[in-house]
Each structure stands twice: as C-alpha cells, then as structure tokens.
Structure 1
Amino acid sequence: MDPTLRFLLYIIFSALSLAGGYLCRKRQLLNPAVSKPLHYHTVVWVWSAASLFSVWKIPLSRDHLWLGLFQTLIVALLAFTALGIARGFKFSRDQSAIVAVAASIHNIGFTLGAYICYTLITPADSALALGIYYVSIMQVVAVIVIYPLARRYGHEHDPSVPLSRLMIKNFLDLRAMPLYAAVAGTLLATYNVPYPQFVRDFAVLDILFYLGAFGAYFGIGLHLELTFRKPDLKVHALAAALKFLLIPALTLLMIWLLALAGQSLSRPAYEVALVQSAMPTALWTPMLANLFGLNHRLAVSVWFYNHVLFALLILPIILFLYR
C-alpha cells in the first residue's frame, strides 16, 4: 500500500476513534471512567508490543546513540523546567503537573512526527527508523522520569513520598512495560537476533498500531471538551511556548555542541532531530493524566489545542521549508 494512503487511513481511523469516544460520552452511552482501564491495557500490552517489534527491526548506528541522548535530555530538562516556570507563575498543583507532562513528551511516533520525517526527509526509510527510535527512547525516559512525577502530583498518591522512592517503585509497575519492551528490542537488534517472520507476514505491527490508536483516542474522546476555558489559557500558552520555541532551540544547541566536540550527525539524523523538535504534545499527556489521577480534563484540552496550534502554524512552516 502507498505510504501516504496508509497514513491517511490511520489518521481517519484515529479521528473516528476520538469522535466515537466523544459521542459516547455526550450521549451517555458509556461512563467516561471506562477510559482508565482502556488506557491502562493499551499502554501495558499494545504499546509495549509495538515498541518491542518497532525497535527490534531497526539497524542501530552512532546516530541512534546521539538521538537517544538528545531525547533523554529533552524529556528530563523540559519536565523540571516547566515545573520551575509554573511555580514562578503560581500555577495550581494540577496545572503545574499537566504543563510539565505536556511539555516533556511529544507526538513523535508513527502517529505524527516519524511519519512526517518519512515523507519529507531522504532517505525515507532511514528517517522513519530514526523517528521510531526517537519515540522509543522518549517512552523509556518518560517511564523513568515522568511516571514518578505524575505519581507525585496525582490525586491518588501521597505527595509527601520522596520522588526517588517513587522512581524505584516505578520499575515494579506494569505501566512501566514500554520501558522493558524498548530495552528488549534494542538488545535484540544489537545482537542481530532474527526478526520474527510472522510479524511481517501477518502485519502484526499494523494491527498493534490500530489497536493502540483505538485505545488511546477512544479513551481520550470520552473526556474531550471542545470548549476553551479562560483559566486554562496560561497553561496552554506555557505548554505551546515550551513545545514550539524552547525545544527547537534546545535541539539546535545540542547539535551545535556536538559539532564543537568534533562529532556530527548524519544529514537524515540532523533533519529528524529538528523536525521532531517541533512536534506537539503526545497522546501520553491525557493518558498519563488518566492513569495517575491528574486533571484529565485539562490534559485532554492541552493535548487537543496544542495539536490545533501545530496544524495551523507549525506544520505549514515545516512544509514550506521542505517545499
């Protein structure tokens, strides 16, 4: 199938899943609480399996090492930078947590960033592989850093528990499965373990992508509100500034420092890093809010309007630069 057609079908399916969840809530056909177990099993089983098989088939190179370092620094730095700024502007506890999560994780997988890289950057296959690896590293760092942060700020957990203890506890949580899946996939790729033929023969990855899209988008739709609340404006503004200004600037700085150190990225890796740096917040933002007891309504709102801003402003700039 033509890659563009495949992507369009995936986007249509995702949009229908989101709309389906939204309509089920509006017509009171389903309790929005259904989204929590739906998101839980999507993250633990579906996304973990997709991460394992995606990373396993990637031939690793030096570029992957540097991109992994970039993504690790971006996730960690943005989370704590966002918290510091939010505290300075006297955000509420809920607002601080959401802006930290939204700023630090990004829609850089097959659902957006990696596919944009695939369509714009040459060679396309290398760009897609680098993009998928980038999101896999983000998942690993998110489990290590963002999960404990979400636990600490969530309404279901004792805020007095030290962050270090939450980080240790995190490794025993089934929700950490994407971390172990990505590590396993990396090891299998590193040691050249043959990729399972049945995954190719039966389009297992495509099935997992669609299952993951349904679980994520339908669950988000169950909490989606299309109204814009004025008290949320500062949260939207800070999330957008961090996503679309600070992260690209930080990425350029890291590329420059790498060059000063006598190292360099290949042209595809350089372009992937820059394109991915301008992506909106990830599906994980509302999903983690749901799983860890953060303000789910606000998380869904930030996710939705962050993507609207990306579509109206950032994406046209990217397409113009690659015209």
Structure 2
Amino acid sequence: MDGASLRILYVLTDLIMPLAVGYLLHQRHLVSDSVINKVIRFNVICVYTTLSLLSFWVLPLSWSLLLVPFLGMLLVLLPGAIGYGLFARHIENLLNRGAFIASAMLANLGTLGGVCAFILYNEQGFAYSQIIGTMQNFLLCVVVFPLAQYYYMKHTSAIRKSSGSHNFREMFFSVNQLSLLGMTGGLILNANGITRPEILGHLFQYLVHIAAWIAMLPVGFLIDFRQVRRYAKNVRTLTFLRFVITPIIFTGLAYLIVSDPVLQGTLLILTFCPTAINAVLAAKIYKLNVDLAVSSFVITTAAYLFVIFPLLFMLLH
C-alpha cells in the first residue's frame, strides 16, 4: 500500500471523527452552546491567526506563483457572484440570503481540500491547497465577514439606526479579522529573509490536524438532521453551483493556464470542494440562518466524501 492510500485515513481521523464527536456531544448534552461558541472564537482568533502567520512566513514569493493565489481568489469570488446572480437575489429573507451567499463563496479548501490534496500529492499538494486556502481566509476576513454582518444589520434595521462610521468599524475592524495581522506578520518576516525555525514547521504540521478537529467538532455539534432535511430543497441550487458550475469553469482554467500536473490535480480537488466549515462559523458569529449553512455543509460534504473524492482519487491516483 503506497503513501497516498495510507494517508486516506486522514479523511476518517481529521474530518469524519470530529464531526461525529461534536454531534454526540450535542445529542448527549455534554457541552453547552457557550462552550462551543468559545471554541469557535478560539479557532477564528487564535488558531487561524497562528496558521496564517506560519503559512505566510514560508509562502513562496516568486512571480510564477502569483497565479495560485489569483485562482484562490477566483474560487471564492466567482461562485459567490454566480450564486448571487442566479439564486440568492431571489431569496427574500435576508438571514437566509446571507447564509446562502456565505455558503456559495466558501468552499472547504483549507481543511477538507488540504487533507485530500495531502492524500494524493503529499506535502506539495498540501502546500498548494494552503496557499489557495490562505487567500480564502483573507477574503473570509475582508469580504465574507463584512457581508454577513451587513445582512444581519440590514435584517435588524441596524443600518438605519446607527452611523455610517460605526457600521464601517463593525464590518471591517473586529476581532474576527485578527488573522489578517498574522498574514501581515508572516509576510513581513518572509520578505525580510528571516528563516522560520524548524520547530515551528513541526508545530504547523500538528496545528493542521488540531485545527481540523477544532473546526469540525463545533459543526458536528450544530448539526440538526431535521433542519438539514428542512433546507435540503434550498441546498439543491448550492449543490449544483458547487459540483457542476464551478468545476466546469475551473477545470477548463486549470488545464488552459497551468502546466504543473500536481497543481492541476490539486486545483481539480479544490474546485469540487463542498461548502466550507467557515460558512457555518460566519452564520453562527453573525446570527444568520445557521441551519441553512449547516444543511449545505452536511449535504455537499457527504456527497464529496462518499462520491466525489473517491472518483477523483481513482482518476488522479
């Protein structure tokens, strides 16, 4: 059995197991909502910031790699724009619309995509996925969080009751964007030629697995299969967007403008990725429709883990 076949166990240990544990914790009332909220905030504020710092510290700064973050930005912005234009603008409830747009924009690139790219392409595939995922984390901070805040504020009529400067501060300068400081610090260290200590590289490897657990466990805690069934019809359009429209566009782009076969394969894995955990976290933090985001996450993730990725594994292995 080769390394890729052995690493496929990470799908179970880093992705499925924390989901199951979170779900059991909720069903048996072993953990309160307040504890889960603290775990979510710890993940967003501490873990994301640390991973951003460490990943940007060693991010290759060559001109040839400028294409990779550009594709990472497109993987967020284009599905979001298409999702809004075709589907979301017809949703009247603003909390539902905000959750839909977050679910359309955010794919599970860093956690699920990173583990799956690692399974097939080892460290190189994981590195590419992290560069692309880092761009999504950047857009999570500067686009998705402000959009989520906007739809919540618009729903509660807060925009009409407070000043423009106050709204601007809340939407773009909150503790949830702290990972931007990690990105900036990592780039400064990188640009100044300061070598990242080897021990921090080992720490990063451990943090990847820890971050997967910290990210997946709260989502498992939030899963309510009754609500998943309730919003399954609403998620059909998101499923079509995630598994048909986006892959058609980006598979063509990958093979037209990318020559590196590992990067091509990694992009193929990422372009099929399901709705991100961060869409659920954004909905939770900004009080949008969490059940719609969870429904999208559960349905698209199940399809990816049990149908899409096995097919990709056979195609690319």
TM-score by length of 1: 0.83
Partner of 2:235: 236
Counterpart-to-counterpart distance in 2, 1:102 and 1:159: 23
Label 1:190 to 1:254 Cα distance change in 2 as closer, same or farther (>3 A): farther
Counterpart-to-counterpart distance in 2, 1:165 and 1:74: 31
Following superposition, the deviation at residue 67 of structure 1 comes to: 1.6
Counterpart-to-counterpart distance in 2, 1:3 and 1:70: 25
Counterpart-to-counterpart distance in 2, 1:165 and 1:71: 31
Following superposition, the deviation at residue 278 of structure 1 comes to: 0.9
Partner of 1:279: 273
Partner of 1:209: 208
Secondary structure of the 2:30 match is coil
The Cα offsets for residues 75-99 of structure 1, whole Å up to 9 and x where unpaired, read as 1232233223334544532332222
Partner of 2:101: 100
1:19 aligns with 2:20: yes
Partner of 1:221: 220
Secondary structure of the 2:159 match is coil
Secondary structure of the 2:146 match is helix
Counterpart-to-counterpart distance in 2, 1:163 and 1:312: 47
Following superposition, the deviation at residue 13 of structure 1 comes to: 5.1
Match of 2:138 among 140, 148, 157: 140
For structure 2, the 5+ residue unaligned runs are: none
Counterpart-to-counterpart distance in 2, 1:163 and 1:242: 34
Structure showing the higher helix proportion among its residues = 2
For structure 1, the 5+ residue unaligned runs are: none
Partner of 1:48: 49
Deviates more, 1:219-228 or 1:291-300: 219-228
Partner of 1:115: 115
CA contact (8 A) 1:152 1:163 kept: no
Following superposition, the deviation at residue 228 of structure 1 comes to: 5.7
CA contact (8 A) 1:42 1:212 kept: yes
Label 1:236 to 1:130 Cα distance change in 2 as closer, same or farther (>3 A): same
The Cα offsets for residues 104-131 of structure 1, whole Å up to 9 and x where unpaired, read as 111122x32123223334xx43322111
Give the letter for the 2:263 counterpart.
A
Partner of 1:308: 302
Counterpart-to-counterpart distance in 2, 1:249 and 1:159: 40
Label 1:150 to 1:208 Cα distance change in 2 as closer, same or farther (>3 A): same
1:127 aligns with 2:121: no
CA contact (8 A) 2:48 2:179 kept: yes
1:266 aligns with 2:260: yes
How large is the Cα RMSD of the aligned pairs?
3.0
Counterpart-to-counterpart distance in 2, 1:33 and 1:224: 16
Deviates more, 1:20-29 or 1:88-97: 88-97
Counterpart-to-counterpart distance in 1, 2:158 and 2:249: 31
CA contact (8 A) 1:43 1:178 kept: yes
Label 1:269 to 1:154 Cα distance change in 2 as closer, same or farther (>3 A): same
Partner of 2:190: 189
Label 1:187 to 1:92 Cα distance change in 2 as closer, same or farther (>3 A): same
CA contact (8 A) 2:94 2:152 kept: no
Secondary structure of the 1:281 match is coil
Matches within 5 A, 1:50-89: 50-87=51-88, 89=90
Following superposition, the deviation at residue 253 of structure 1 comes to: 4.8
Match of 2:152 among 145, 150, 154: 154
Counterpart-to-counterpart distance in 1, 2:263 and 2:209: 27
Following superposition, the deviation at residue 237 of structure 1 comes to: 0.7
Secondary structure of the 2:87 match is helix
Counterpart-to-counterpart distance in 2, 1:311 and 1:106: 14
CA contact (8 A) 2:89 2:97 kept: no
CA contact (8 A) 2:231 2:291 kept: no
Counterpart-to-counterpart distance in 1, 2:218 and 2:168: 26
Secondary structure of the 1:193 match is coil
Counterpart-to-counterpart distance in 2, 1:172 and 1:83: 25
Following superposition, the deviation at residue 59 of structure 1 comes to: 2.9
Following superposition, the deviation at residue 56 of structure 1 comes to: 1.9
CA contact (8 A) 1:86 1:96 kept: no
Secondary structure of the 1:222 match is helix
Secondary structure of the 2:231 match is helix
Label 1:127 to 1:30 Cα distance change in 2 as closer, same or farther (>3 A): closer
Counterpart-to-counterpart distance in 1, 2:315 and 2:49: 34
Secondary structure of the 1:127 match is helix
Secondary structure of the 1:227 match is helix
What is the aligned residue count? 312
